[in-house]
Amino acid sequence: MRVATCLAVVLSLTLFLMAAARADGDAARGEARFQDCAACHKLEAGSNNVGPSLHGIFERKAAALTDFRYSPAMKRSGISWTPETLDKFIADPQAMVSANRMPYAGMANPNDRADLIAYLKKMSK
């Protein structure tokens, strides 16, 4: 019984540390992950492309830029972009906001998403 308890504690601690590492992300690796986004999104203020500018994305409401044409689904979403909501959206955009116009299948790897979000935090201020 003690071995099982020790294993459970070690496993829980390992999972906790892995989650903490993911939560922080690595902005340098995130720059490479951003290449998936760069075809449609820019980081400069007022620089929309196929997708809206990601400058100042954090704490902004979804569909808030007046100079970009968002899908009705995104306008109705009620999302405020936080690292958590962005993580969920990047994982599977259609699952979070069905009928949005972003033609992206998602980024399955949580470490890659954490790295991307760290890069966006650094670059979108």
Residue 80 forms beta bridges with which residues? 61
What is the model's pLDDT at position 2?
61
Decide: 27 and 121 in contact? Cβ < 8 Å.
yes
pLDDT (mean) for 3-15: 45
Q: Residue 125: which pLDDT band, with cuts at 50, 70 and 90? A: confident
- For the domain made up of 2-123, give the CATH fold: Cytochrome Bc1 Complex; Chain D, domain 2 (1.10.760)
Where do the structural domains in the chain lie, given as residue ranges? Answer: 2-123
User: For residue 34, what are the CA distances in angstroms to 14, 16, 18, 38, 115?
Assistant: 28, 26, 22, 6, 9
Given a cut of 60, whether residue 12 has pLDDT beyond it is no
Q: CA 116, CA 35: separation in Å to the nearest integer?
A: 10
Given a cut of 50, whether residue 13 has pLDDT beyond it is no
Tell me what the pLDDT averaged over the chain comes to.
Answer: 87
pLDDT (mean) for 112-125: 94
Q: Copy the structure tokens of residue 109.
A: 């790897």
CB atoms within 10 A of CB 23: 14
Q: Residue 47: which pLDDT band, with cuts at 50, 70 and 90? A: very high
What is the model's pLDDT at position 43?
96
CB atoms within 10 A of CB 40: 15
Q: Residue 110: which pLDDT band, with cuts at 50, 70 and 90? A: very high
